[in-house]
Structure 1
Amino acid sequence: MSEVTVISAPAPCTFDDVRRRAVPVLRKAGAERAVVFGSWARGQADGYSDLDLAVVMDTDLPRPQRALVLAKELDRALPVVVDLLVYTPEEFAAGEADPYGVFDLFRREGIEILREPR
């Protein structure tokens, strides 16, 4: 039988560091809300974990283009790779009504790091 070696490394920063560095970038971009989910939200992030982030903001851009500029700014601010989902307020509200899929994940494990009054 062969051996399996699990390679792990500590996360490059804390969750509080992520919040402190990301929130100013999100505010500058006009984000209304941001939710961290995945391994960072579960407290299981390590040096190989990306940051799963859902962002709500007004935009007229098509979905594939929404994250481009914001992702570049977050990449500059954070020492982790960001997996970014950007929704309009209307899309997010509609998604919250869906009991399945990624929005269920946001509800179950998401940690809100930004919520601006409308």
Structure 2
Amino acid sequence: MDKLRGKGVPAHLERGGVNQFGVRVSLPDGREAVWDTDGTAGLEAQVMRDGILVGYVPEIEGSENFDEQQVIDAIERTDYNQPVARRRSTAPPTAPPLPPEGGFFRRMFGGFRER
């Protein structure tokens, strides 16, 4: 998440259930893309507005073998403007970095190692 936020992507930790975690990306028009909270190996997302499914990102072929950088690139390059989102051929311009989430408590639990 921090690497996405460092690229200006408004990413947040999403808790999908017991021991199920994913990434939630806040979109400018009030929608949210929720990436991988279903526990499957492939990378896909649901696009939600007010708790209602308004679009999705189909499973990205071969994504079960992606490393961290490839996952970051896939999330960053997704174009959410259609009901069935697609990946852009190039990444959008990098936005100003966003601060890491967690603030003081994150630093406290991390032993103040993070700056």
TM-score in terms of structure 1 length = 0.29
* Bigger RCO (CA 8 Å, 6+ sep): 1
Task: Compare the two structures and name the one with the higher strand fraction.
Answer: 2
TM-score in terms of structure 2 length = 0.29
